């Protein structure tokens, strides 16, 4: 939920839509804030792209480390004293490449950050919101499930750009064979993490449900 990914924030910063990935994500700030205020979360984690000049070479700059465009949208409720702010350099927040070391733990991979803070997969449930459902959210949640975390995605607080996959997407839909063989299911899930571009909303839902992720339309203000 960064300024370079938001159309209105682009106009405020640059007087034009400069980022190639700017979308209308501003309206999703309010549902995210309501979720935060309505539930006693044990930990809130913000992951965001923090890209070095080397990663952006030959590309239109976006989310360049240290720039205002890479910072979180100003209306998001963030508690810098308690929240985890994890700067990543991949679609997948749990990627093996990792990111900048998180200040509270000194770890460079989100899975390591959570483990260092005492949130082991076997006793931790993760709830995901943000953008984009069919790209960064998909890959982050898929990897979290591969690590053993219980995962949910709340759709009215999550931006999805398209139901259709990008033309470059190579994988077909999830089917019964995903669940028939755990080894095959894991291999296919790992392929999703490696595939470039966006899976589209329809495929993303199928992939996530195949590995046991809950897709929730909304989040109650009073947790059950």
pLDDT tens digits, 35-84 = 999 999 999 999 999 999 998 898 888 999 999 999 999 999 999 899 99
8 A C-beta contact, residue 88 and residue 48: yes
CATH superfamily of 3-216: Isochorismatase-like (3.40.50.850)
What residue segments make up the domains of the chain, in order of their start? 3-216
Handedness of CA 141, 144, 148, 151 (dihedral sign): negative
- φ/ψ of 175, rounded to 5, equals -140, -170
User: For the chain, where are the E strands, in sequence order?
Assistant: 45-49, 84-88, 125-131, 150-159, 214-216
CA distance 132 to 118: 28
CA distance 128 to 154: 6
Locate 173 and state its tokens: 């839909």
Q: What is the pLDDT along the chain (224 residues), one digit of tens a residue?
A: 999 999 999 999 999 999 999 999 999 999 999 999 999 999 999 999 999 999 889 888 899 999 999 999 999 999 989 999 999 999 999 998 878 889 889 999 999 999 999 999 999 999 999 999 999 999 999 999 999 999 999 999 999 999 999 998 988 899 888 878 888 889 999 999 998 889 999 999 999 999 999 999 999 855 44
């Amino acid at each position: 939920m960064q300024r370079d990914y938001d159309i209105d924030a682009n106009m405020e910063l640059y007087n034009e839509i400069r980022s190639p990935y700017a979308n209308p994500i501003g309206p999703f700030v309010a549902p995210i804030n309501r979720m935060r205020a309505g539930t006693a979360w044990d930990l809130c984690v913000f992951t965001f792209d923090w890209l070095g000049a080397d990663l952006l070479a030959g590309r239109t700059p976006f989310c360049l480390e240290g720039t205002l465009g890479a910072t979180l949208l100003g209306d998001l409720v963030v508690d810098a004293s308690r929240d985890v702010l994890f700067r990543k350099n991949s679609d997948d927040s749990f990627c093996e490449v990792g990111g900048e070391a998180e200040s509270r733990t000194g770890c460079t991979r989100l899975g390591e950050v959570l483990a260092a803070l005492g949130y082991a997969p076997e006793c931790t449930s993760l709830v995901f919101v943000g953008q984009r459902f069919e790209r960064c959210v998909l890959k982050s949640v898929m990897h979290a499930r591969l690590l053993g975390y219980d995962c949910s995605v709340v759709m009215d607080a999550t931006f999805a750009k398209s139901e259709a996959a990008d033309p470059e997407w190579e994988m077909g839909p999830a089917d019964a064979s995903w669940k028939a063989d755990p080894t095959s299911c894991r291999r296919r899930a790992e392929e999703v993490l490696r595939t470039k571009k966006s899976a589209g909303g329809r495929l993303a839902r199928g992939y996530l449900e195949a590995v046991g992720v809950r897709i929730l339309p909304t989040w109650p203000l009073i947790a059950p």
